[in-house]
Amino acid sequence: MKAYLPILLVVALLAVVPFVTTSNVVLNFLVTTLMIALAGQGWNLLGGYGGQYSFGHAAFFGTAAYATAILQTRYGINAWFGLIVGIAAGASVGAAIGVLSFRSGLRGSYFSLVTLAFAEALRIVASVAPITGAGVGTLIKLDLRPEALQFQGRAPFYWIALALVGLSLMIVRAIENSRFGAYLAAVRENEDAASALGVDCFTVKLGAMTISAAITAAAGCFYAQYFLFIDAPIAYGPWISIDALLAPIVGGVGTLFGSLLGALFIKMLGEATKLVSGDAPGLDLVIYGLLLIVVVGSAPRGIVGFLDAIIGRRSSIVALPERDNG
Amino acid sequence: MLSPVILVPAVLNGLMNGAVYALIALGLTLIYGVLHIINFAHGTLLTAAMFAAFFAYVLLGIDPYLAAVLLTPAFFGFGYVLQRFVIGPAAHGEDRNYLLVTLGLAVVIENALLYFFRADTRTINLSYAFDTIQIGPAFVAVPRVVALGTVVAIATMLWMLMQWTDTGKAIRAVAKDKLGAELCGIDVAHIYAVTFGLGTACVAVAACLLIPTYYVNPTAGNAFVLIAFTIVVLGGMGSVAGALVGGLFVGVVESLSGIFLGESLGQIGIFIMFIAMLLVRPSGLFGARA
């Protein structure tokens, strides 16, 4: 239980925000931040803990978003049920891509390339297929009832996003403390050595990818419900693949709270940039790209590493492989 | 539909498009062969070069083919500086970091272009862009013939550089055994940067060959780079011959599938080929085991 205390504390602290402020601007900002944190936590499990750098997490985000939207608009299925189906759909796509690429032994940059290619292929299919609404996109009908997973104010959305983030933190913490988590770290540090010690690398990577896809898929479902509109560049566009990897890397790759801290940081930076650039697009992403280079180059453990240095402590997950060796 | 009147021009056009693809893939494979990294910024460097060629014509009135003479050394220098002072130091020699740093670079360049030039699509009008010459039963556009000729010349020059100059020998030595090369007194950081510069220079030439008949916007290069990735995977990562043959092959396949399947499916065809290739034989048709 002690391991989960920090998570409960953080979630409880964040849960009171809507009582402090009812400003739509603030809540909207926090809702999108939590959504990116959720998508990033999915990436973090596979990339940060497992060392498999996916450049195509949009594949899971988009599939889930489309599944939620299409089930409601075309088949009249309840949105809550659509949420579950959406997560399952995203996880299945993750498992399928995982089986194909890990079975053929794709590692490192090859894995990044193939995930990128899958996301792009799905984007092209979604932009021409009739079921997704092709170029027009899919609009979910406004129906402001809790049963339809739509709300008048932003606060309920905020709590749902927060609950999803809290759940993802719990899942990742549980994995950290499990045998599976140790295997995953072993695969990240040295796959050949892990394999020689009897770790079933294929199953471990596939499991991580499926859970990772499911978490990012939840963010996709949430997007569809919150904005009620989805098209191919949103669902499968590179923006979400980049945000999903940028948040945990900036926050602290392979750390529990890395994605949440990173998402908060990049979103604040994004808003600050908008104040400077106004409506002109691009400048925020220029800064994101520079940030990625700077963090990788000079602060490989991101904000968490920075905080640890201040309080003079080492974060547990980074120490994990060494503990195994010792 | 299968009459030679249609097929011969389709194959010829495919070969000529393929030549430009091959040149882009050549840059990619050169960098991979020596640095063992996939350069995710390759596409945006192509876009940047296309913008450079575009503005050289619009603002200074320099013909794209003439601009190639100026842009090639400029982009060689740009690539050299990028690798030497940005990518190399930031990556600390770790593969995962190279992926992220080149991805970050791609995001920066693409969005800087978007910020300064907006998403508008631009084209230039050249008097000779639609001139054609007759080859057998086919009429082919002059810019495409020029492109094919230039690519052959560039590939030959690159081959001679690799074969006969000291720099070429050093590049080959570093590609074979980095540590051994370093022990022999080769400045590996310098050779890495030279290779990255050569790869970027290839893209600058390709941009000048494309701009007379193609458009430019901040994402224009991306389409070509996915094709180039396909070619490089097809031909084998790091294989120069593979890139050239693969480029021509993909050009012909694209041209023929455009006839038989229609334009929008042609694009997905390349993706399917790419994914299938990566899954079945990631080392490529010509490459050694990755």
Query: pLDDT tens digits for B251-266?
Result: 888 888 777 776 666 6
Per-residue pLDDT at B194 exceeds 60: yes
Contact A104 B290 (CB under 8 A): no
Cα(A115)–Cα(A117) distance, integer angstroms: 5
Contact A108 B99 (CB under 8 A): yes
CB-nearest partner of B99 from A106, A112, A281: A112
What pLDDT, on a 0 to 100 scale, did the predictor assign at position A139?
87
pLDDT in tens, A109-129: 889 988 988 998 899 889 888
Beta bridge partners of B216: B122
Per-residue pLDDT at B218 exceeds 80: yes
The CATH number for A2-325, chosen from 1.10.3470, 2.60.40, 3.30.460, 3.30.200, is 1.10.3470
Task: Give the closest-approach CA distance of B275 to chain A in angstroms.
Answer: 6
What number of CA atoms fall less than 13 Å from residue B157's CA on the CB side?
10
Cα(A238)–Cα(B39) distance, integer angstroms: 17
Note the pTM of the prediction, 2 decimals: 0.87
Interface check for A171 against chain B (CB to CB < 8 A): the answer is no
| Most A CBs within 10 Å, among B29, B51, B100, B219, to test the A interface | B100
A283 pLDDT band, cuts 50/70/90, is confident
User: Which alpha helices (H) appear in A56-152, and where do they start and end?
Assistant: 58-75, 79-103, 108-128
Residue A74: strand, helix, or coil? helix
A224 pLDDT band, cuts 50/70/90, is very high
Judge whether A215 and A42 are in contact, CB under 8 Å.
yes
Chain A CB contacts of B106 under 8 Å are 289
Contact B90 A296 (CB under 8 A): yes
Judge whether A293 and B90 are in contact, CB under 8 Å.
yes
Amino acid type, A33: T
ipTM: 0.86
